[in-house]
A and B are shown apart, each in its own frame.
Chain A
Amino acid sequence: MSRLEVLKTYKIYIGGQFPRTESGRYYSPLDKKGKPIGNICLSSRKDVRNAVVAARKAFGGWSERSAFNRGQILYRIAEMLEGRREQFISELQMQGSTKVAAEKEVLRAIDRIVYYAGWCDKYQQILSSVNPVASSHFNFSVVEPTGVVGIVTPQECALIGLVSLVMPVICGGNTCVVVASENSPLCAITFAEVLNSSDLPAGVVNILTGTNLELNNVLATHMDVNAMVYGGKDQEALKSIQESSVLNVKRVISQVKDWMESNAQDLYLISDTQEVKTTWHPIENIGGASSSY
């Protein structure tokens, strides 16, 4: 007996909820054969606004969590993704990957999350420093998360690209608003379902689907977004984000890598969205054998 096909509606992810887009608009990306692969929200500027509000609200709690706990939660994301491998593989295939490539991409994504889970309580030691100064001060620098980060994911490698850009950002205690791949948005939203079932507090990651043209600059001009990470290759789009970001002097980081490479991951992706705070602490003695540090 033939069954009525159920075409999933992929809703956006804001503040730990899956609302429909505020605008009520949808689009249906097609697979290679021209068949629609799902109903996808065409998010509007108001969805961006709501997502930034959610990210800002989550920032205090997430950045103040113990580093070790953040690591546990990131590891939990990897565990949950592992449990839903098949779904991701089939969605990547719907989006045009071969089975072999899809399997490889999912495994790589899981490994990458584990990699950044490990860094959560270690990057601070590596990036912080005690600095030699000539005056009688104990001078040290520590890193702190930048704040709310806007992330525009690459069009290709929809899963691994998203994971590779989001993980270092939240590993470092930031919260983020993510613009998913326009043509291949399925696994971005399924990934949101993974995040939602893995102890990650609401609002730490918010994922919107829609067009880069409409969403990028709303994020880049938003006064409450502190940095932009652009993962695409479109130089015009990057330029436009950079120009919009001048308004509140956001950091703009352009990341173009082959994310499928096993070494497309490192500490410096974490440090991209960290701010260095340097403290001058007066001391009586400096440099001598009796120096208190």
Chain B
Amino acid sequence: MKDKKIRNGNFNLESITHVAVDKVGVEERVARFQTRSIKNEAKLQGLKMVLSMIDLTTLEGKDTPGKVRQMCYKAQHLHEVHAGLPSVAAVCVYPTMVRTAKNALLNSGINVASVSTAFPSGQAPLEIKIRDTKFAVDEGADEIDMVISRGKFLSGEHAYVFDEIATIKDLCGNARLKVILETGELATLDNVRRASDIAIYAGADFIKTSTGKIQPAATMQVTYTMLMAIKDYFDATGKMIGMKPAGGISTSKLALHNLVMVKEVLGNKWLSNEWFRFGASSLANDVLMQIMKSETGVYQSSDYFSID
């Protein structure tokens, strides 16, 4: 533990291994976020904000340059029928697709995020994870979404996880680092909180719930626990950390619940795509359909929207 790289301020690894999360309290608080009445105008504003926060994602073995280009096109032209819609924040792809995405998004202002460190399992030697990350950065990725070593974390090697994140952070340069905790594999909210603290103190710019490959993914309980870690860190140091729930958020309603939660836990400062993102592939169309529903007054059909 002696070569631990403390990046985000003073931090004692031991101190965070005793954090306990009140699960019942979390459930109750989260249930209350879902009862807020959001009036039409605020809802429309919220939906547009959701669009601007989406990391449009394709992370499949069957991804091809063609598929990535199609998605990049969609990112820039969400629904041309309706003027004045924001574009998404970023597209999220595998490292081998970064160059393709970069070229397709030239001058669009949309970032390219690349997963790395042997996504999604993270089961690879550190040197391979380093090369994976370097490759993505060299290809031009603006953001790096790394996964933590859950196996190491669960076997109690917190320092290893910490050092790994710190090492990857060093390689990122100007690229912002999102750290995926894969909370579906961490079993308890205590572990989620612990992993969040480790990631934040090791240098994460963002913490992210899931890879999208494991269920459950971004439940509101998990996201709330991570937001609390961000809040406590902000209270202690004054530094902001971003949050990205990913996986399972496929409806506008759920996305709006998340925004309510962010606003009430962290405040308005986090309500921009610099500090909050949704990792999603099918959310964008649902939000677009809701926006068009607000505008036209009738329920929409996916037949009239682009393919995810």
Of the 9-residue stretches B1-9, B141-149, B298-306, which lies at the interface with chain A? B298-306
Proximity bits, B180-211, A CB within 8 Å = 1, else 0: 00000000000000000000000000000000
User: Does A144 have its Cβ within 8 Å of any Cβ on chain B?
Assistant: no
Within 8 A of B (CB), among A143-171: none
A248 to B301, CA, bound (A): 10
Closest B residue, CB atoms, query A45: B299
In contact, A49 and B299 (Cβ under 8 angstroms): yes
Proximity bits, B215-232, A CB within 8 Å = 1, else 0: 000000000000000000
Partner of B303 from A49, A218, A223 at Cβ < 8 Å:
A223
A224 partner residues in chain B, CB cutoff 8 A: 299-303
In contact, A221 and B299 (Cβ under 8 angstroms): yes
B283 to chain A, nearest CB (A): 15
A177 to chain B, nearest CB (A): 11
A248 to B298, CA, bound (A): 11
A204 to chain B, nearest CB (A): 18
Closest A residue, CB atoms, query B292: A223
Closest A residue, CB atoms, query B300: A223
B300 partner residues in chain A, CB cutoff 8 A: 223-224
A56 to B303, CA, bound (A): 11
- Count class of interface residues, chain B: under 10
User: Does A247 have its Cβ within 8 Å of any Cβ on chain B?
Assistant: yes
Proximity bits, B275-302, A CB within 8 Å = 1, else 0: 0000000000000000000000111111
Proximity bits, A78-101, B CB within 8 Å = 1, else 0: 000000000000000000000000
User: Does A52 have its Cβ within 8 Å of any Cβ on chain B?
Assistant: yes
Secondary structure call for the B interface:
loop
Proximity bits, A208-232, B CB within 8 Å = 1, else 0: 0000000000100111100000000
A106 to B304, CA, bound (A): 42
B299 partner residues in chain A, CB cutoff 8 A: 48-49, 52, 218, 221-224
A49 partner residues in chain B, CB cutoff 8 A: 299
Closest B residue, CB atoms, query A218: B299
- Among the interface residues A48, A49, A56, A223, which one has the most CB atoms of the partner chain B within 10 A? A223
B73 to chain A, nearest CB (A): 23
A159 to chain B, nearest CB (A): 29
A48 to B301, CA, bound (A): 14
A56 partner residues in chain B, CB cutoff 8 A: 302
Partner of A221 from B298, B303, B304 at Cβ < 8 Å:
B298
Closest B residue, CB atoms, query A52: B299
Proximity bits, A44-61, B CB within 8 Å = 1, else 0: 000011001000100000
A48 to B299, CA, bound (A): 10
A57 to chain B, nearest CB (A): 11
B301 partner residues in chain A, CB cutoff 8 A: 222-224, 248
A52 partner residues in chain B, CB cutoff 8 A: 299
Closest A residue, CB atoms, query B298: A221
A49 to B297, CA, bound (A): 13
- Among the interface residues B299, B302, B304, which one has the most CB atoms of the partner chain A within 10 A? B299
Closest B residue, CB atoms, query A223: B301
A223 to B299, CA, bound (A): 6
Closest B residue, CB atoms, query A247: B298
- Among the interface residues A49, A56, A224, which one has the most CB atoms of the partner chain B within 10 A? A224
Proximity bits, B113-137, A CB within 8 Å = 1, else 0: 0000000000000000000000000
B304 partner residues in chain A, CB cutoff 8 A: 223
A210 to chain B, nearest CB (A): 16
A56 to B300, CA, bound (A): 12
Proximity bits, A241-265, B CB within 8 Å = 1, else 0: 0000001100000000000000000
A232 to chain B, nearest CB (A): 22
B289 to chain A, nearest CB (A): 9
A248 partner residues in chain B, CB cutoff 8 A: 301
B303 partner residues in chain A, CB cutoff 8 A: 223-224
A223 partner residues in chain B, CB cutoff 8 A: 298-301, 303-304
B26 to chain A, nearest CB (A): 26
A148 to chain B, nearest CB (A): 9
Closest B residue, CB atoms, query A49: B299
B302 partner residues in chain A, CB cutoff 8 A: 56, 224
Closest A residue, CB atoms, query B302: A224
A223 to B300, CA, bound (A): 5
Closest A residue, CB atoms, query B299: A222
A52 to B303, CA, bound (A): 14
A55 to B302, CA, bound (A): 13
A24 to B304, CA, bound (A): 32
Closest B residue, CB atoms, query A48: B299
Within 8 A of B (CB), among A27-53: 48-49, 52
B126 to chain A, nearest CB (A): 44
Proximity bits, A179-223, B CB within 8 Å = 1, else 0: 000000000000000000000000000000000000000100111
Closest A residue, CB atoms, query B251: A53
A136 to B247, CA, bound (A): 53
Q: A223-B303, A224-B299 are in contact. List 19 more A-B contacts (CB 8 A).
A: A48-B299, A52-B299, A56-B302, A221-B297, A221-B298, A221-B299, A222-B298, A222-B299, A223-B298, A223-B299, A223-B300, A223-B301, A223-B304, A224-B300, A224-B301, A224-B302, A224-B303, A247-B298, A248-B301
Q: What are 18 A-B pairs at a CB distance below 8 A?
A: A49-B299, A56-B302, A218-B299, A221-B297, A221-B298, A221-B299, A222-B298, A222-B301, A223-B298, A223-B299, A223-B301, A223-B303, A223-B304, A224-B299, A224-B300, A224-B302, A224-B303, A247-B298
In the A-B complex, the 4 residue pairs with the closest CB atoms: A224-B301, A223-B301, A221-B298, A222-B299
- Seen from chain B, the residues whose Cβ lies within 8 Å of a Cβ on chain A are 297-304
